[in-house]
Amino acid sequence: MERTLVLVKPDGVQRGLIGEIIIRLERRGFRLVGMKFLQMSEGLAQKHYGEHEGKDFYPGLIAYITSGPVVAMVWEGDQAISLVRKIMGETKPSASPPGSIRGDFAIDVRRNIVHGSAKESDADREINLFFRPDELVNWSRDVDRWVFSGE
Ligand SMILES: Nc1ncnc2c1ncn2[C@@H]1O[C@H](COP(=O)(O)OP(=O)(O)OP(=O)(O)O)[C@@H](O)[C@H]1O
Ligand SMILES: [Mg+2]
């Protein structure tokens, strides 16, 4: 099982899309293991998006992600990292197919509604930035055997 960090970004929160995003991840079969509502500090934003430091869009990215509250969540399941990225769509909403979150709700790459970890090392690092280990809940659902075959 993998764990991935998902953010409902400030535009997603402002536009009332928190529930819309949660329902898509829940409906697919992923399991929520952590959730908090917070406004990211500049320091947290810089750590989270450290890989983009120096790029022309970086100052705007930090201003955007700290501009209002976000929902930070950890979701768990087989192939959670890559499949959550597929549910989100492409970085550019204009390249995202209808049916994906960005393809259904966004237009501008600077206002693309959600974040999902890109790979396992990012997921581990990002989850640790937002959550202490005791803030994540290890649990199982009765329905898990109907979602995961265990293979
Ligand atoms: N060319 C660009 N112009 C403006 N903003 C950009 C550009 N590329 C990326 N961004 C912004 O920076 C964020 C991080 O870029 P990244 O390449 O990591 O895309 P992503 O992994 O799809 O998005 P995220 O990390 O937020 O999930 C994007 O979500 C977007 O808001
Ligand atoms: Mg990214």
> pLDDT (tens digit, 9 = 90+) per residue, 83-114?
999 999 999 999 999 999 999 999 999 999 99
pLDDT digits over 132-149, tens only? 999 999 999 999 999 999
Residue 35 has pLDDT above 90, yes or no: yes
Residue tagged active-site, from 71, 115, 123, 127: 115
Residue 151 has pLDDT above 90, yes or no: no
Query: Ligand nearest 63 Cα, by number?
Result: 1
Atom of ligand 1 minimally distant from the CA of 115? 27
Q: So what's the pLDDT on residue 150?
A: 85
How far is Cα 59 from Cα 43, in angstroms, rounded to an integer? 13
pTM confidence score: 0.97
Region 4-25 average pLDDT: 98
How far is Cα 6 from Cα 122, in angstroms, rounded to an integer? 12
Ligand 1 proximal residues by C-beta, below 6 Å: 52, 57, 61, 91, 109-110, 112, 115-116, 118
Confidence of residue 15 (pLDDT cuts 50, 70, 90): very high
Residue 67 has pLDDT above 90, yes or no: yes
CA of 53 relative to ligand 2 center, distance in Å: 12
State the amino acid at position 54 in one-letter form: G
Region 67-75 average pLDDT: 98
CA of 132 relative to ligand 1 center, distance in Å: 26
Region 44-72 average pLDDT: 98
State the amino acid at position 50 in one-letter form: G
Query: Ligand nearest 7 Cα, by number?
Result: 1
Q: What percent of the chain has pLDDT over 70?
A: 100
How far is Cα 109 from Cα 89, in angstroms, rounded to an integer? 11
- As a CATH number, domain 2-38+71-139 is 3.30.70.141
Do 7 and 70 touch, CB atoms closer than 8 A? yes
- 52 labelled catalytic: no
Region 47-76 average pLDDT: 98
